[in-house]
Amino acid sequence: MSINYSEKIPNNVDLANDRKLQRALEHWQPHFLDWWREQGPNDFASDEVYLRTAVGVDAQGWASYGHVKMPDYRWGIFLADRVADRTIGFGDHFGEPVWQQVPGELRSQFRRIIVTQGDTEPASVEQQHLLGLTCPSLYDLRNLFQVNVEEGRHLWAMVYLLHAYFGRDGREEAEALLGRHSGDADNPRILGTFNEPISDWLSFFMFTYFTDRDGKFQLKSLSESGFDPLARTCRFMLTEEAHHMFVGETGVGRIVKRTLEVMKELGTDDPGAIRAHGAIDLQTIQRYLNFWFSSSLDLFGSEVSSNSASSFANGIKGRPDESQYEDHVCADSSYDLETPDGVERVNLRNAMNEVMRNSYVKDCEIGIKRWNMQIKRAGYDTPLSLPSSRFHRSIGSWSNMPVDPDGKIIDRDVYERQLVDWLPTENDQAFVHSLMQRVAEPGKMAGWIAPPDRGINKLPVDYEYVRSH
C-alpha cells in the first residue's frame, strides 16, 4: 500500500479505516510535537532544512528530498510490504505461520522489547539536542537534523505498534516514552548509553558509528520476529538507519583525514602540536572510540541471559540474518563463553546476546579498516583499533573488571591509573569542546574536520543545506 500524505498522520497501514486507532494516535501526536519542541533541535525550528522524507517503502526511490522546517516534517507510520506466506524463522515455533496479532502469553515480553527499542529513539534526539549550535558545517548540520527527524519517526514506529496491538497498556507506555529523558536523575532512559551526554561532534560521530550500529543489529534481529507487524516495521526502519551509520563512518573518517593533513603540514605526530594547530590527535580519537564502543557493547545485554533464551525460543527475536545459520532451533547446542573465571559452557539459546555482540564487533571492524587505510597511506603506523570487548564493561560477566584494552586482567591500581590513557579525560573533553565553534556558511568547514567527498543527493558540498531566517 502506498503512503497516504493527505492524512494528518501519513501512513501505509490504512489508518483511515481504523477510527479508534486513528483517534488514539491523533491524541498522542500533539504530545509528541510538544516533546520535540522541548527536547529536540528547537533553536532551528524556523530554519529550512534539506531533508529526505519517505514517500514509499520500496528499496528503489523510497525517499524525496526538499527544504522543510523541522516542526513541519511529516512523521508517519510506514511498514515494509507484507511477504506472502511468511513463516517463523527460528525457535520453538519454527516453520509456523507468522502472527498478525500478539499471542496473549507473549504480550508482556513483546511489550518490554518494543518499549526498550522505542525508548532509545527519542533518547538520542535528547542527547543531540544542542549540537546544532556548534555545527562544523551546514552539510553536517543537515545530517544531524536528518538523523534527528528519523529517530523521531522511529519513535512513531514503536508507538504505532503499542497503540495498535497493546490496548490501554500500550497507550500508557507510549505516553511514558515521552516522560523519560536522557540523563534525567529521576526518570532516565532505559539503557545506559542513551543517558550519556553527546555534547561535541566527535562524540556524535562515534555515537552514530557505534550506537546506531547497535540499532542496526537489534532491528535486524527484530525484523526476524514472528510478530509480523514488528518485523515489517523494523525492516523499513533499517532503510533509514543506513544513513545514520554513514554519517558516523564518514564523520570520523573526515576528522582522521584532517588530523593527518595537519600532521603532514607540521611534520610531527606530537599530540600537543596537532592540538595547537586546531586538529584532534589520533590518541584522543582512540579514547573517544574506546568509550563509545565499550558502552555500545553493553547494549547487547549479558552474555548469559534467560531473557534472550526465551525471546529466541518464543519467536520474538531472532539472530541478525537468521537465514545464514544452519540450525534455527538451537535447542541442544552449546556455546563456550570466556568469562573472568575461565571458559563456561552454556546453552546456545542463553548466549544469543553474545552471538549478536560478536557479529556486531565484526561489523564495527569494517570502518576501522577504512580509517586505518588513510593513516597508512599518509605514512604513519599508528592505527586505530577496537579495544577488547572485555574492556570497560558495565554489563555482563566482565563488568567492572580491571581489564586493559588488549583484554588482559591487570592489577586494579594499575588499571585505575592507566584509565587516563584509555578513556577521554576532562582535559580531552575541554579541548574537544574548545574546537566546537559554529561554522554556518555554505561550503565552509571547521578546521578540525575535512570536507566530505560529495554532497547529499548529488548536490555540491557548498549547497545551502540549511537556510536560516
Among 48, 150, 200, 212, binds ligand BYC (CB under 6 A): 212
Give least dist CB 34 to ligand BYC, A.
Answer: 20
**DSSP-assigned beta bridge partners for residue 51:** 66
Query: Rounded to an integer, what distance in angstroms lies between the CA atom of residue 192 and that of residue 398?
Result: 16
244 is a contact residue toward Fe ion (CB under 5 A) = yes
Contact between residue 454 and residue 265 where contact means Cβ atoms under 8 Å apart: no
378: left (phi over 0), alpha (psi -120 to 50) or beta: alpha
Q: Which stretch binds Fe ion (CB under 5 A): 34-42, 235-243, 356-364, 395-403?
A: 235-243
Instruction: Give the x/- contact pattern for ligand BYC in 81-120, rule: CB under 6 A.
Output: --------------------------------x--xx--x
Query: Rounded to an integer, what distance in angstroms lies between the CA atom of residue 137 and that of residue 160?
Result: 35
Nearer to ligand BYC, 275 or 392 (CB): 392
Contact between residue 191 and residue 116 where contact means Cβ atoms under 8 Å apart: yes
Nearer to Fe ion, 241 or 303 (CB): 241
Contact between residue 413 and residue 404 where contact means Cβ atoms under 8 Å apart: no
The grid coordinates listed for 172 are 500508557
First to last CA, the chain: 38
Neighbours of 304 (CB within 10 A): 20
249 is a contact residue toward Fe ion (CB under 5 A) = no
Nearer to ligand BYC, 41 or 260 (CB): 41
Instruction: Give the x/- contact pattern for ligand BYC in 222-261, rule: CB under 6 A.
Output: ----------------------------------------
Closest-approach residue to ligand BYC (CB): 301
Give least dist CB 245 to Fe ion, A.
Answer: 8
216 is a contact residue toward Fe ion (CB under 5 A) = no
Query: Rounded to an integer, what distance in angstroms lies between the CA atom of residue 120 and that of residue 117?
Result: 6
Q: What one-character-per-residue DSSP string does 1-31 give?
A: ---BTTSSS-BSS-GGG-HHHHHHHHHHHHH
Among 302, 359, 385, 397, binds ligand BYC (CB under 6 A): 302
Query: Rounded to an integer, what distance in angstroms lies between the CA atom of residue 355 and that of residue 347?
Result: 12
Q: Is 213 helix (H, G, I), strand (E, B) or coil?
A: helix
Among 162, 191, 280, 384, binds ligand BYC (CB under 6 A): 191
129 is a contact residue toward Fe ion (CB under 5 A) = no
**DSSP-assigned beta bridge partners for residue 67:** 50
Among 151, 224, 354, 404, binds ligand BYC (CB under 6 A): 151
Contact between residue 141 and residue 132 where contact means Cβ atoms under 8 Å apart: yes
388 is a contact residue toward ligand BYC (CB under 6 A) = no
Which residues lie closer than 8 Å to 100 by C-beta, 6 or more apart? 228, 229
Question: Which class for 299: exposed (0-12), middle (13-18), buried (19 or more C-beta within 10 A)?
Answer: buried
Nearer to ligand BYC, 68 or 245 (CB): 245
Nearer to ligand BYC, 48 or 298 (CB): 298
Query: Rounded to an integer, what distance in angstroms lies between the CA atom of residue 130 and that of residue 133?
Result: 6
137 is a contact residue toward ligand BYC (CB under 6 A) = no
215 is a contact residue toward ligand BYC (CB under 6 A) = yes
350 is a contact residue toward ligand BYC (CB under 6 A) = no
Among 111, 142, 153, 154, binds Fe ion (CB under 5 A): 154
Q: Which stretch binds ligand BYC (CB under 6 A): 179-187, 297-305, 401-409, 413-421?
A: 297-305
Q: How far is CA 385 from CA 264, 288, 370, in A?
A: 22, 12, 11
212 is a contact residue toward Fe ion (CB under 5 A) = yes
307 is a contact residue toward ligand BYC (CB under 6 A) = yes
For ligand BYC (CB under 6 A), the number of binding residues is: 25
The grid coordinates listed for 327 are 540450525
Q: Which stretch binds ligand BYC (CB under 6 A): 138-146, 214-222, 266-274, 454-462?
A: 214-222
Nearer to ligand BYC, 79 or 274 (CB): 79
Among 192, 383, 402, 447, binds ligand BYC (CB under 6 A): 192
85: left (phi over 0), alpha (psi -120 to 50) or beta: left
Neighbours of 52 (CB within 10 A): 18
* CA 221 remoteness from chain centre: 14
Give least dist CB 136 to Fe ion, A.
Answer: 20
The grid coordinates listed for 406 are 588488549
Q: Which does 395 bind (CB under 5 to 8 A by kind): ligand BYC, Fe ion, none?
A: ligand BYC
Nearer to ligand BYC, 136 or 320 (CB): 320
Contacting residues toward ligand BYC, per CB under 6 A: 113, 116-117, 120-121, 124, 151, 191-192, 211-212, 214-215, 218, 298-302, 305, 307-308, 317, 353, 395
Q: For binding to Fe ion (CB under 5 A), which residues are involved?
A: 121, 151, 154, 212, 215, 241, 244
